[in-house]
Amino acid sequence: MVSAKHRNLILFLLFLGWAIGNFDRYFINYAVLSITEDLQLSPTSTGLILSSFFAGYALMQIPGGWLADKFGSRRVLMVSVLMWSIFTAMTGAVWSLASMVAIRFLFGIGEGGFQPSSSKLISQTFPMDKRAWAMSIMLSSGGIVSLIVPLLSAYMLTTIGWRVSFFILGGIGIVITILYWAFIKLPAHVKEEELKQQGEKKQGIFGQLLKTPLMLNLFIAYYSIYAINWGLATWLPTYLVNVRGLDLISLGWAQTIPGLAMIVSMYLSGYVIDRLPLGKEKIVGAVACVVVSILLYLMFNAPNVTIFVTYQTIVILFISFVMLLLPAVILKRLPSTVTGTSMGIANTGGQLAGFITPLAIGYIVQTFNGSYNAAFWMLIVFGIICTVSLLTLNFKKGELLQAKA
């Protein structure tokens, strides 16, 4: 087994990589206010920009997972971070809507291999009873980023501007690529085990996974919870400015509270999930989704910004729990030989939601003359769908794959 010191180093590097990737994804939601003004875009065009990343990201999930299983997690990680760094920097050089959409799409292609390969690396280096905890540490960087992005974005956009900001983010990503090359080293016995498992892997495992009831439910659950997550993340800044009347600085301070909630939820969720009896996770997850739906209704009916942000904070707590529970099911139920492919299939659902939802909200807002009510109702329905998909999870096929591996 990999030493604890080496595991922690790998986890720290994954944390850094996920942090810079999330920073760009959250930063664009604030930068788009300036981008829309500079390029003179409509709400539908803005939604297209916010969605284009997720189109590439979703398309790369399954190939990225397959590549991680085929060629190893380390190689895919390095290529992924390098590609997204290049296209992040290129975002600062766009000159039109078409160029922005194309570059954000290619950025998504680049980043698409990160989560499947990082999940595989965690399954290779951490024992089963610590995998949810390890995943929570990596994913918690998203919470930390969401905490600092609102204020930092306001500062960056009002001082150096959105173009220079993207150049800087791309440079940081290249530095992280170099760190991966230098310090992510799998011990010889882990490499040998990986090669052996690849040689023993049954033909048609991809087809088997697609037919697995567990994977179908996870795909739907991923789609639903990420539709809520990215629907809120991509459009709340615009909503709070245009509907609730906040300026950029006030918006930044208001959104630090939900960001802090995400960090707390990720750390607590990893601890709780590792201690849930097998089979109980679907019930706890379903309850969390019901709570999310109720709170979303209360959010858009909140009489003022303070109450709105209070409900949003609680929503983030439960969304974060479900977003960690879903990959934990894969890490605990399926063997490491198919972790990359399995995570790619399930996460395709989440990233398709990231592509479709911002675009759909942009269209809805434009259709209803600036009203977000219908958009909130759409997110509430997704909470109900997630509840049903979790309650009907079927673990039997997952156990069969585990036995065959």
Over residues 356-395, the pLDDT tens digits come to 888 888 889 888 887 888 999 999 999 999 999 999 987 6
Does the pLDDT at position 227 exceed 80?
yes
Give the chain's mean pLDDT: 83
pLDDT at residue number 190: 59
Residue 84 has pLDDT above 80, yes or no: yes
Highest averaged pLDDT of the listed ranges 157-171, 181-195, 207-221: 157-171
The residue count for the chain: 405
For residue 17 the two structure tokens come to 């990589």
Distance (Å, whole) CA 372 – CA 47? 14
**What is the pLDDT averaged over residues 190-217?**
64
**pLDDT for the residue 198:** 53
Query: What does the pLDDT average to over 102-131?
Result: 85
The C-alpha atoms of residue 386 and residue 221 are separated, in whole angstroms, by 5
pLDDT at 400: 43
SS3 state at 167? helix
**Taking 70 as the threshold, does the pLDDT of residue 405 lie above it?**
no
SS (H, E, C) 349-403: HHHHHHHHHHHHHHHHHHHCCCCCHHHHHHHHHHHHHHHHHHHCCCCHHHHHHHH
What's the sign of the alpha-carbon dihedral 119, 120, 123, 125?
A: negative
Closest CA to 285 of 316, 227, 325, 315: 325
Residue 387, pLDDT score: 96
pLDDT at 402 over 50: no
Task: Taking residues 327-335, report their average pLDDT.
Answer: 80
pLDDT in tens, 118-176: 888 888 888 877 887 888 888 778 778 877 887 788 889 889 989 999 999 999 999 99
Q: Report d(CA 125, CA 346) in Å as an integer.
A: 21
Q: What is the pTM of this model?
A: 0.72
What percent of the chain stands above pLDDT 90? 23
**DSSP line for 248-307:** HHHHHHHTHHHHHHHHHHHHHHHHHHHHSPTTTHHHHHHHHHHHHHHHHHHHHT-SSHHH
Does the pLDDT of residue 399 top 80, yes or no? no
Give the pLDDT of residue 205.
63
List Cβ neighbours of 28 (8 Å cut-off, separation of 6 or more): 49, 50, 53, 91, 104
Task: For residue 198, give the H/E element and its range.
Answer: helix 188-200
Provide the 3-class DSSP secondary structure of residue 108.
Answer: helix
* pLDDT surpasses 60 at 401: no
pLDDT tens digits, residue range 9-64? Answer: 999 999 999 888 888 877 888 888 888 888 887 777 887 887 788 788 888 888 88
pLDDT given at position 396: 63
Residue 204: pLDDT band (50, 70, 90) is low
User: Domain ranges in the chain?
Assistant: 4-404
User: Is pLDDT above 90 for 199?
Assistant: no
Residue 173 CB contacts under 8 Å (≥ 6 apart), including other chains: 20, 21, 81, 82, 84, 85, 88
pLDDT at 280: 82
pLDDT of 195 strictly over 70: no
* CATH number of the structural domain 4-404: 1.20.1250.20
| pLDDT in the model for residue 291 | 96
Amino acid, res. 75: R
